[in-house]
Amino acid sequence: MCFGPFPLHQTMASRKESAASGSSPLETPVKQIQIDGLVVLKIIKHYQEEGQGSEVVQGVLLGLVVEDSLEITNCFPFPQHTEDDVDFDEVQYQMEMMRSLRHVNIDHLHVGWYQSTYYGSFVSRALLDSQFSYQHAIEESVVLIYDPIKTAQGSLCLKAYRLTPKLMEICKEKDFSPEGLKKACIGFEIMFEEVPIVIKNSHLINVLLLDLQEKSTVADKHELLNLSSSNHLEKSLQLLMDRVDDMNQDIGKYNTYCRNLSKQQQQKQQYLQRRQQENTQRQSRGEPPLPEEDISKMFKPPQAPPRMDTLLIAGQVNNYCQNIKEFTSQNLGKLFMAEALQGHSS
Amino acid sequence: MSRFFATGSDSESEESSSADEITPKATGTTFNKNKEAFTTNLILCCPLRFRFEELTNIIKTIRNAMKIRDMSKCLEEFEQLYRAFLKSKTIVDKEGVPQFYIRLLADLEDYLNQLWEDKEGKKKMNKNNAKALSTLRQKIRKYNKDFETEIASYKEVLNSSTNVISLCRCQDEESESDDDEDSEDWGSDSVDSGGESEDNEGAAASLAVVFLKKYKDGRRKRHKKIEQVEEEVDEDGEAEEGGWEKVKGGVPLVKEKPKMFAKGTEINSAVVIKKLTEILQARGKKGTDRAAQIELLHALSGISNENNLGQGILVKIKFNIIASLYDYNTNLAAFMKPEMWKKCLECIDELLDILFENNNIFIGENIAEDSENLAISDQPFRVRGCILTLVERMDEEFTKIMQNTDPHSQEYVDNLKDEGRVCGIIDRLLQYLESKGSTEEVCRIYLRRIMHTYYKFDYKAHRQLLPWVTGPFSEQDQEESEGEDSAIIMDRLCKFIYAKDRTDRIRTCAILCHIYHHALHSRWYQARDLMLMSHLQDNIQHADPPVQILYNRTMVQLGICAFRQGMIKDAHNALLDIQSSGRAKELLGQGLLMRNMQERNAEQEKIEKRRQVPFHMHINLELLECVYLVSAMLLEIPYMAAHEFDARRRMISKQFHHQLRVGERQPLLGPPESMREHVVAASKAMKMGDWRTCHSFIINEKMNSKVWDLFPETQCVREMLVRKIQEESLRTYLFTYSSVYDSISMETLSEMFELELPTVHSIISKMIINEELMASLDQPTQTVVMHRTEPTSLQNMALQLAEKLGGLVENNERVFDLKQGVYGGYFNRGTRTRP
């Protein structure tokens, strides 16, 4: 998976010029996100055209912060390129794109990025890293996750996430050791925070939609009532199982580490005790005590496994579980409804 | 140029070249009677001079070392001298111990004793020298005991002659001139040595020694010379009589040749034996012409035959001829030349003839040389030698020849024809040993016989089992049908070995061969029982590589046999080990795999090459692979269908899966070409329960010619296969599609798979009993009613997930325990409960 589009410092600088009145850390953090219908359609279109299967598409979000809400008014896709065209300059492309948009008087401020997902699997190291660099450069930036599969089932699924301030701190320090994470008191639940989304359309569009609603037949909405669930569930379970396996492995690793550590601690203790005994004996015999030795050199602590990945996996597992829960509850509702209908008709 | 000129110049050059070889003085030799005698002399002298020169050179250095009191050098040289003297033993035996040698020994001892007495001098010596002195002194004392008489006589002469040096001198001068006149050839070296020592030592005593020696030498030589002349005359006479041919004198180092039977007046056994030992002494030495030696031995056997010296000697000579035939190739890897091989076979045959005709010859390797009785007498002959070893060696040579012949050439077929002779010889020896040999020997020869029998398919016995094959038997068939059934022979021989053998190896080989033979002839149960009873599978890894190869061959044959009998599972199990490694070729000793040189150096490669099984004993590898893949298919496809959703499904055969994957990876799937592709295509058809397509892929023209026609009972195997395919396809079909049926009629099934109703019934019943199929049989309507209790894939998945989560929780708790210190307490718990 390739990294998301790069946050551009230059744009941030230009934004600062334009909004010089705002202090650098936002006093009132963004509480909701307002997305233009255009952005949603553009994202969906992007995936339809380029994404397939488990491949993801990514792009740049443009917009503005207005009081406590972030307005995303436009976006542009990030072109997919293979490893072999090396001379493709991503930054250059983004710059060009934004400059062109500015020329046609569109919001050109970088406020985040979007990414499609496959059955809700997006919590990964790559996402973390790129979102971190975004938030590091542009504080209010978010990542929009678009789930095409759910959308295809009839309910638009678009979610905005950003890293919590705690996670930002840890990422800044790059300390992913067990102790570091413990000190930071971070768990998988508080790694990402979801920001509520509001989709806003102009009145004209709303009118059009209402008009369309009138015209659309019942059959168009059948998708929403589809009762078959096993396929989706199976896929989700499969993915969940893979993650659980990964988790298991990580725990195994951590377990051996812990065991090694405690074993070494014991050895260290024993060594120190022996040493002390000997020293007391020597003292009683009137000999000088043994010279101090560097214990840390003798007992090198075993390499601690980085725990960040485990956290991410846990987050992902949580995500899957949420998805499945949501899906099943919806489906149960549908099933009950179908049952009632059947009872009624018969 | 005219022809005459050419010939003339030829002869001239020949003469001059031969003249060049000897000393230039030779022009004035007195007894240059004819050319033959002349060359004879030359040949005789060369080794003599060579050896003695070597000795004198060493002696010279010793004397130098003595002068500077360098004891360690002395010791070193003395040891060399000793060795050189041993080398020239044959000459010494003939000529007597050379005087200069005795002289040195005596002097050296005196000198050492003198040094030993000189206490002060010894103290001055450095450590090495002192040490060398003591060892040398001990050595020479011991060594001189052998030459006691010679040394004593030398000393005596020395003492008496010191007074009469002058007298001696004039006498010697005379004799020396005499020598010069009539003995140019051999005199020179002794004179040389004398001269050298004269240069080295100015002492009167040694001068006298030199003179004395010369004097004596001269006398001795003159005496010798007379003998020599006599011999030559004899030889000439004999050559004219045509009693035996003299071998060409082009080979300078075989000195014995022209001297065969010096005193030709009487050729008795003692002389012949002496001659024989003489010839044999040259054996194994550098520079000995082995071909000439063989010729010589042949000539000797001819002589002994002519003179009726008795069978004893003849046998002895024959033994040696065969041995030297084997010796002909010094390199172990090289194989015998065809003519040598033929000769060898003939010789062994003749030897066996003699042994059969004469009951009173005892042979054995444990008969000592000196207790041999070769002469004709009332006592039976006793000859040292082991015919069994010779025959075994012959068998090995045969294998080697077969290994080194291109198996696809006519030559191979020609060579293979000799197998009959080899078998014949082994058979004859077997008869001989059965009456005379020890049990051990009988076991060995039995094993040889088994080794030549086990891999051959007995067509005659096979034909008897097939009553429908009638018709005019050809003459050859008639001939073949005489003689014992190979199964009976194998049984008899192997059982004898099981009972009598005391070495594990022979028994192991015999068991393996016996199993192989059983398997080859489709006696599956006997073969399997024997394999299981022998417990060879447990400890075969400790055996040596050739036995392991035999074991592998046996297992493969066993597997193929099981397949023919329709025991697919057994076949698969037997072949699994060989096939799963992917080195079947190597494991069966049927060829080397290409590997880089890091894994195997040239030496190892040679060893491995020697282990290869000759081509005519090969097991067809394609057949083997096909049998394996087909049995894997018959097992794996239903299994895969039954466990489609099982996450912990194990593969029965990795190789088969590999082939399937290879097939899947093909971008464009054409009609199958190779055997593997056929099997893969058939597997795919079977997966769908389509037995007809599967059948047509497994059994068709191509596969018939490639594989199935290689079996002796082709028809049976094909029928068996069709049936198996039908059955397994039915099973697969039920596994795969049971979920879409509520009930299914057995009659429909039996029609679909062309199986009889009872068979379908039994298969389905079996599946139900084994809980593979959740269904029940409805007897009145003859239908299978599905219970539909099998979990759906989603349910399966959920179960798996639950299991995994259980594991996860367990792991997590373990981490937690560690944190809480319970884990540390775990170890203490044991100690707490003990008291």
Buried b (16+ CB within 10 A) or exposed e, B206-238: bbbbbbbbbbebbeebeeebeebeebbebbbee
pLDDT at B368: 66
Do strands A69-77 and A32-36 pair parallel, antiparallel, or not at all (unpaired)? parallel
Would you place residue B666 in the very low, low, confident or very high pLDDT band (cuts 50, 70, 90)? confident
Numbered residues of chain B with Cβ closer than 8 Å to any chain A Cβ: 792-794, 797-798, 800-801, 804-805, 807-808, 811-812, 814-815, 818-819, 823-824
pLDDT at A182: 77
Task: Say which residue, B309 or B32, is predicted with more confidence.
Answer: B309
What's the mean pLDDT in A75-82?
Answer: 78
Residue B783: alpha-carbon gap to chain centroid: 67
B775's CB contacts (< 8 A; 6+ apart) are: B738, B764, B767, B768, B784, B785, B786, B787
Task: Say which residue, A322 or B202, is predicted with more confidence.
Answer: A322
pLDDT tens for each residue of B424-436: 888 888 888 888 7
pLDDT tens for each residue of B768-811: 998 888 888 888 888 988 887 777 778 888 888 898 899 888 88
Buried b (16+ CB within 10 A) or exposed e, A305-323: bbbbbbbbbbbbbbbbeeb
pLDDT at B726: 92
What's the mean pLDDT in A291-314?
Answer: 78
**DSSP structure string for B528-589:** HHHHHHHTHHHHGGGS-HHHHHHHHHHHHHHHHHHHHTT-HHHHHHHHHHHHHTT-HHHHTT
Q: Is A252 on the interface with B (CB under 8 A)?
A: yes
pLDDT at B551: 92
Q: Is B794's CB within 8 Å of A230's CB?
A: yes
Q: Give the chain B residue whose CA is nearest to the CA of A254.
A: B815
Record the pTM.
0.57
Would you place residue B330 in the very low, low, confident or very high pLDDT band (cuts 50, 70, 90)? low
Of A145-154, A202-211, B284-293, where does mean pLDDT reach its minimum?
B284-293
Q: Which of B648, B793, B810, B815 to mutate to test the interface with A (most CBs of A within 10 A)?
A: B815
pLDDT at B599: 62
Q: Is B823's CB within 8 Å of A240's CB?
A: no
pLDDT at B484: 63
B769's CB contacts (< 8 A; 6+ apart) are: none
CA distance A286 to chain B (A): 38
Token pair in block for residue B245:
């041919």
Task: Say which residue, A185 or B823, is predicted with more confidence.
Answer: A185
Task: Say which residue, B307 or A63, is predicted with more confidence.
Answer: A63
* Chain B residues within 8 A of A250 when measuring between CB atoms: none
pLDDT at B235: 45
Q: What are the distances in angstroms from CA A93 to CA A85, A96, A100, A134, B359?
A: 14, 5, 11, 17, 107
Q: How far apart are CA B378 and CA B358, in angstroms?
A: 13
pLDDT at B14: 41
pLDDT at B332: 64
Q: Is A168 on the interface with B (CB under 8 A)?
A: no
* Chain B residues within 8 A of A119 when measuring between CB atoms: none
A240's CB contacts (< 8 A; 6+ apart) are: A317, A320, A321, A324, B801
pLDDT at A167: 85
CA distance A251 to chain B (A): 7
Nearest to B333 by CA among B393, B404, B406: B404
B525's CB contacts (< 8 A; 6+ apart) are: none
Would you place residue A10 in the very low, low, confident or very high pLDDT band (cuts 50, 70, 90)? very low
pLDDT at B597: 54
pLDDT at B306: 73
Would you place residue B256 in the very low, low, confident or very high pLDDT band (cuts 50, 70, 90)? very low
pLDDT at B191: 41
Of A71-75, A219-223, B175-179, B487-491, where does mean pLDDT reach its minimum?
B175-179
* Chain A residues within 8 A of B811 when measuring between CB atoms: 248, 251-252, 255
Would you place residue B515 in the very low, low, confident or very high pLDDT band (cuts 50, 70, 90)? very high
For B815, which of A237, A244, A251 is closest by C-beta distance? A251
Whether residue B739 is predicted with pLDDT greater than 90 in this model: the reply is: no
Q: Is B804's CB within 8 Å of A245's CB?
A: yes
Would you place residue B152 in the very low, low, confident or very high pLDDT band (cuts 50, 70, 90)? confident
Q: How far apart are CA B748 and CA B689, in angstroms?
A: 14
pLDDT tens for each residue of B153-202: 777 777 665 554 444 444 444 444 444 444 444 444 444 444 444 444 44
For B793, which of A234, A251, A259 is closest by C-beta distance? A234
Q: Is B815's CB within 8 Å of A247's CB?
A: no
pLDDT at B514: 92
Say what the ipTM of the complex is: 0.78
- How many CB pairs below 8 Å do chains A and B form together? 45
Whether residue B494 is predicted with pLDDT greater than 80 in this model: the reply is: yes
For A244, which of B792, B801, B815 is closest by C-beta distance? B801
Give the containing element (helix H, strand E) for B283.
none
Q: What are the distances in angstroms from CA B529 to CA B521, B532, B534, B569?
A: 15, 5, 8, 16
Q: Is A248 on the interface with B (CB under 8 A)?
A: yes
Q: Is A251's CB within 8 Å of B812's CB?
A: yes
Q: How far apart are CA A283 and CA B502, in angstroms?
A: 73
Of A41-55, B463-477, B652-666, where does mean pLDDT reach its minimum?
B463-477
For A262, which of B804, B805, B824 is closest by C-beta distance? B824
By CB neighbour count within 10 A (0-12 exposed, 13-18 middle, 19+ buried), where does B203 fall?
A: exposed
Q: Is A240 on the interface with B (CB under 8 A)?
A: yes
Q: Is A248's CB within 8 Å of B804's CB?
A: yes
What's the mean pLDDT in B584-611?
Answer: 74
Q: How far apart are CA A331 and CA B5, in angstroms?
A: 121
pLDDT tens for each residue of A228-255: 777 888 888 888 888 898 888 888 888 8
Whether residue A96 is predicted with pLDDT greater than 60 in this model: the reply is: yes
Q: Is A304 on the interface with B (CB under 8 A)?
A: no
Task: Say which residue, B598 or B290, is predicted with more confidence.
Answer: B290
What's the mean pLDDT in B452-477?
Answer: 64
Collapsed DSSP state (helix, strand, coil) of residue B246:
coil
pLDDT tens for each residue of B100-141: 777 777 787 787 777 777 766 666 677 777 777 777 778 777
A contact residues 28-47, partner B, Cβ 8 Å cutoff? none
Which residue reads 């991503």 in tokens? A90
Q: Is B814's CB within 8 Å of A255's CB?
A: yes
Q: Give the chain B residue whose CA is nearest to the CA of A260.
A: B818
Whether residue A212 is predicted with pLDDT greater than 50 in this model: the reply is: yes
CA distance A187 to chain B (A): 15
Collapsed DSSP state (helix, strand, coil) of residue B243:
coil
For B797, which of A234, A258, A262 is closest by C-beta distance? A234
pLDDT at B373: 66
Which residue reads 């969906």 in tokens? A44
Q: Which of A322-336, B244-258, B377-391 has the highest mean pLDDT?
A: A322-336
pLDDT tens for each residue of B219-240: 555 555 554 544 444 444 444 4
Task: Say which residue, B698 or A222, is predicted with more confidence.
Answer: B698
Q: How does the average pLDDT of chain B come out, rounded?
A: 74
pLDDT at B513: 92
Would you place residue A330 in the very low, low, confident or very high pLDDT band (cuts 50, 70, 90)? confident
For A255, which of B794, B811, B824 is closest by C-beta distance? B811
Would you place residue B628 in the very low, low, confident or very high pLDDT band (cuts 50, 70, 90)? very high
Give me the half-sphere count of Cα atoms (radius 13 Å) on the Cβ side of residue B375: 9
Q: How far apart are CA B359 and CA B768, in angstroms?
A: 74
